[in-house]
Amino acid sequence: MAETLIQIGVVGCADIARKVSRAITLAPNAALCAVASRSHDKAAAFAAANGFPLSAKVYGSYESLLEDPDVDAVYMPLPTSLHLHWAVLAAQNKKHLLLEKPVALDVAQFDRILEACESSGVQFMDNTMWVHNPRTAAMAHFLNDAQRFGNLKSVRTCFTFAADPDYLNTNIRVKSDLDALGSLGDAGWYCIRAILLAANYELPKTVVASYEPVLNKDGVILDCGASLYWEDGKVATFHCSFLANLTMDITAIGTRGTLHVHDFVIPYHEKEASFLAGTETGFNDLVTGWDKQPSKHTVTTDLPQEALLIREFARLVAEIKFKNSKPDKKWPTITRKTQLVLDAVKASIQRGFEPVQIQE
Amino acid sequence: MAETLIQIGVVGCADIARKVSRAITLAPNAALCAVASRSHDKAAAFAAANGFPLSAKVYGSYESLLEDPDVDAVYMPLPTSLHLHWAVLAAQNKKHLLLEKPVALDVAQFDRILEACESSGVQFMDNTMWVHNPRTAAMAHFLNDAQRFGNLKSVRTCFTFAADPDYLNTNIRVKSDLDALGSLGDAGWYCIRAILLAANYELPKTVVASYEPVLNKDGVILDCGASLYWEDGKVATFHCSFLANLTMDITAIGTRGTLHVHDFVIPYHEKEASFLAGTETGFNDLVTGWDKQPSKHTVTTDLPQEALLIREFARLVAEIKFKNSKPDKKWPTITRKTQLVLDAVKASIQRGFEPVQIQE
């Protein structure tokens, strides 16, 4: 059995790698086999603190891990500006690649990563966890139901959190040489992904950034938003910020139904998550109340969403490793669309909030 | 006791007048005393169907009701394009005025109505019911709490409903000669009011309409949205539509707190209404769930919100009638701000989505 487990190495000991290491341990088809940091001591301490098996290898450089033939796949939580170099090198070393989001500084960089993965025949997946929660599948099922939801008319999302002064001074997500996309790349990534989910992954035609984004002294976005427009009249807006209380909403409105969710990125609870769905909601005759209101749908899961992501990633890797399948294209295609929209928002901000057309 | 009741006449038998007539009956300090329609038969049928007392007078013209010295105040649910004429005439006849929203086609018209009210010393109030629900006071209390909510950073609202084909062909709200402001004047009015409530009635500096509003063949807005910007960086967006499933949300995010509500205009239930409020909501250490999530606050009320509105209106009228007080300025000031923002959204649409500055 152990031989069929996909052996995953962790490249970088960022905070988020703690959660993902636990997820790899929880996933039934994957195992932690190695960890690398630029410092051997830091890697060893990380392995000890995060449930790595005694057999796991500890590396003091990323290269060494990437050259380890026992490593099937890597999880890479490095700062965005380092992705191009290390993700391409991982792919060239035939390592299947689970890459932290935002996947690249722009889609041109991401395409080079994807090309490297395709050349080597390795699986690419980004580490957007919430889409692997079974609640997300239930929401997507509702959103694509012509009877219960109809056609999407508008979707509004937000993801904000109040970073403390230390974060705003020192975190990699506010550094122009590390995660130069700031809150757009971090929180905005999720908002854009939620909008694409609601639009059944149809790209918008036009993106216009909201006025008054907040940038730090190095030009990194701390707070921004945008409106997205489709040919058929669908409209989406989102707002992402490091400067406001923790909030993460999706409100999607169709011709026949409405969906509300308040914890879409990280569900309140690990083992169950809910959303509100209403179909042909309406008032009573005198309009003094609703005779049909949205109802709560709760979806349970044995594994947390990040372990479900690992399970899906390892499943695809196993298909390639053991059954000579081709890498799956669904997930990288969605990743690329997310990055395309993100690029358009950034371009609109840079061009003084001009509308930016999206071209695939 | 009956002599201290404020005697209210209903000018026009629109559908909404049914609900308001019931509200006047329910309010402890008001009474239905008259109804007018352009047709005497229609007025009589309305009075019979809506619980008017046998003593109530039935008029076949609006003028006759306005000239009745026993009428203290009028409720006027006429189409918007008729407001200027009839509201001014009501004020000139010394009738206190409860006017259906949108109050006028633009703020210039509204100012003429207000001037007439001020000249005659009569009370003006618009018929925005939800702000009189005690839940709204509880929400405002939360939004203005520096500890629980902090400073407002963003607020998003929507009010959409799916009008049926008959409505979209025949309702006064889609007729350019009757309610020319369409969904902006109807549903958008509430969104703008909610945004102003969240901003503690500070007017935004700049308003930009969203691309791709939907207009009918006569140029009446069926679906639109806008973004609003304040000097201090606050941002608001709203979306209003006759073309999407019934939905009415407020999400307000402050530096320290978040408010969510899904039934702000018409609460699900008449006697109780809820909202979600969270302060310094946050994740657990491993970011696998929330250690502090928003909690539900429920506010009960003996009287439905529309009866509370009538009670407030009649209270102000009684202050003037029995105690020689001056008319209250709070409500008309809020009405005017709502209309100013509405005008700016319309102007931005007309100017091809250019930013429009708001001047008081």
DSSP output for B1-70: -GGGSEEEEEES--THHHHHHHHHHHSTTEEEEEEE-SSHHHHHHHHHHTT--TT-EEESSHHHHHH-TT
Q: For residues B201 and B329, is the Cβ–Cβ distance under 8 A?
A: no
Q: For residues B109 and B196, is the Cβ–Cβ distance under 8 A?
A: no
Does the distance separating the beta carbons of B227 and A290 come in below 8 Å? no
The pLDDT tens digits for B313-333 are 999 999 999 999 999 999 999
Cα–Cα nearest to A125, from A95, A100, A88: A100
Nearest CA in chain B to A243: B255
B223 to chain A, closest Cα gap in Å: 10
A271 and A154, same structural domain?
Answer: yes
Cβ atoms < 10 Å from Cβ of B3: 6
Q: Give a yes or no: residue A243 inside a domain.
A: yes
Mean pLDDT of A174-187: 92
Instruction: Return per-residue pLDDT of chain B as tens, 360 residues.
Output: 557 999 999 999 999 999 999 999 999 999 999 999 999 999 999 999 999 999 999 999 999 999 999 999 999 999 999 999 999 999 999 999 999 999 999 999 999 999 999 999 999 999 999 999 999 999 999 999 999 999 999 999 999 999 999 999 988 888 888 888 999 999 999 999 999 999 999 999 999 999 989 999 999 999 999 999 999 999 999 999 999 999 999 999 999 999 999 999 999 999 999 999 999 999 999 999 999 999 999 999 999 999 999 999 999 999 999 999 999 999 999 999 999 999 999 999 999 999 999 987
B152 and B47, same structural domain?
Answer: no
Interface test with chain B among A288, A300, A309, by most B beta carbons within 10 Å: A288
Instruction: State the number of CA atoms in the 13 A half-sphere of B274 facing the CB.
Output: 8
Q: Give a yes or no: residue B333 inside a domain.
A: no
Alpha-carbon distance of B305 to A83, in angstroms, equals: 56
Q: Give a yes or no: residue A57 inside a domain.
A: yes
The pLDDT tens digits for A78-101 are 999 999 999 999 999 999 999 999
Q: Give a yes or no: residue A109 inside a domain.
A: yes
The pLDDT tens digits for A235-269 are 999 999 999 999 999 999 999 999 999 999 999 99
pLDDT for position B174: 85
Q: For residues B191 and B208, is the Cβ–Cβ distance under 8 A?
A: no
Sign of the Cα pseudo-torsion (B311, B317, B318, B324, in order): positive
Mean pLDDT of A279-298: 97
Asked which of A97, A128, A159 is the last residue of a domain, the reply is A128
Does the distance separating the beta carbons of B253 and A251 come in below 8 Å? no
Alpha-carbon distance of B136 to B38, in angstroms, equals: 36
Provide the b/e sequence for A184-211 (b: ≥16 CB within 10 Å): bbbbbbbbbbbbbbbbeeebbbbbbbbb
B211 and B101, same structural domain?
Answer: no
Q: Give a yes or no: residue B260 inside a domain.
A: yes
Interface test with chain B among A231, A246, A248, by most B beta carbons within 10 Å: A246
Per the listing, tokens 């969710």 go with A261
A18/B contact by beta carbon, under 8 A: yes
The pLDDT tens digits for A303-337 are 999 999 999 999 999 999 999 999 999 999 999 99
Asked which of A128, A143, A172 is the last residue of a domain, the reply is A128
Using CA atoms, how far residue B11 sits from A304, B67, B71, B75, B81, in Å, is 60, 12, 11, 6, 15
pLDDT for position B2: 58
Mean pLDDT of A12-23: 96
Cα–Cα nearest to A229, from B225, B188, B18, B2: B225
CATH of residue A300: 3.30.360.10
Does the distance separating the beta carbons of B282 and A288 come in below 8 Å? no
B253/A contact by beta carbon, under 8 A: yes
Per DSSP, the three-state class of B299 is strand
Using CA atoms, how far residue A49 sits from A6, A9, B286, in Å, is 21, 16, 13
pLDDT for position A2: 58
**Please, what is the average pLDDT of chain A?**
96
Q: Give a yes or no: residue B332 inside a domain.
A: no
Does the distance separating the beta carbons of A276 and B244 come in below 8 Å? no
Q: For residues A131 and A196, is the Cβ–Cβ distance under 8 A?
A: no
Measure CA A306 to chain center.
11
Using CA atoms, how far residue A197 sits from A360, B110, B155, in Å, is 17, 44, 23
The pLDDT tens digits for B271-289 are 999 999 999 999 999 999 9
pLDDT for position A306: 98
Mean pLDDT of A103-118: 98
B211 and B121, same structural domain?
Answer: no
Q: Which of B227, B266, B290 sits opposite A290 (nearest CB)?
A: B266
A173 and A250, same structural domain?
Answer: yes
Alpha-carbon distance of B317 to B311, in angstroms, equals: 10
Helices (H), chain A: 16-26, 40-49, 62-66, 83-92, 107-120, 134-143, 165-170, 182-183, 189-198, 305-323, 330-350
Residues from chain B that touch A291, judged by Cβ atoms under 8 A, are: none
CATH of residue B320: 3.40.50.720
B158 and B57, same structural domain?
Answer: no
Is pLDDT above 80 for A198? yes
Q: Give a yes or no: residue B334 inside a domain.
A: no
Nearest CA in chain B to A273: B289
Nearest CA in chain A to B259: A247
Q: Which of A153, A158, A268 sits opposite B289 (nearest CB)?
A: A268
Percentage of residues in chain B having pLDDT higher than 70: 99
- Chain A stretch 282-341, residues whose beta carbon is closer than 8 A to a beta carbon of chain B: 282-283, 286-290, 293-294, 304, 306
Does the distance separating the beta carbons of B280 and A262 come in below 8 Å? no
A276 and A143, same structural domain?
Answer: yes
Is pLDDT above 90 for A3? no
Total count of domains within chain B:
2
Does the distance separating the beta carbons of B253 and A286 come in below 8 Å? no
Interface test with chain B among A26, A132, A247, by most B beta carbons within 10 Å: A247
Alpha-carbon distance of B15 to B278, in angstroms, equals: 38
A244 to chain B, closest Cα gap in Å: 4
A233 and A349, same structural domain?
Answer: yes
Q: Give a yes or no: residue A316 inside a domain.
A: no
Angle at A300 between CA A123 and CA B286, to 5 degrees: 65
ipTM reported for the complex, 2 dp: 0.95
A39 and A156, same structural domain?
Answer: no
Per DSSP, the three-state class of B267 is coil
A114 and A16, same structural domain?
Answer: yes
Token pair for B209: 């309409």
Does the distance separating the beta carbons of A246 and B251 come in below 8 Å? no
Alpha-carbon distance of B239 to B158, in angstroms, equals: 5
Nearest CA in chain B to A355: B211
A6 and A141, same structural domain?
Answer: no
A287 and A153, same structural domain?
Answer: yes
Cβ atoms < 10 Å from Cβ of A227: 25
Report how many Cβ contacts below 8 Å link chain A to chain B. Answer: 192
Alpha-carbon distance of B23 to B71, in angstroms, equals: 17
Using CA atoms, how far residue A323 sits from A231, A319, B95, in Å, is 41, 5, 84
Cα–Cα nearest to B35, from B55, B129, B23, B5: B55
Residues from chain A that touch B229, judged by Cβ atoms under 8 A, are: 211-212
Asked which of A110, A128, A146 is the last residue of a domain, the reply is A128
Which range marks the domain in which residue A67 is found?
2-128
A235/B contact by beta carbon, under 8 A: yes
Alpha-carbon distance of A331 to A338, in angstroms, equals: 11
Percentage of residues in chain A having pLDDT higher than 90: 95
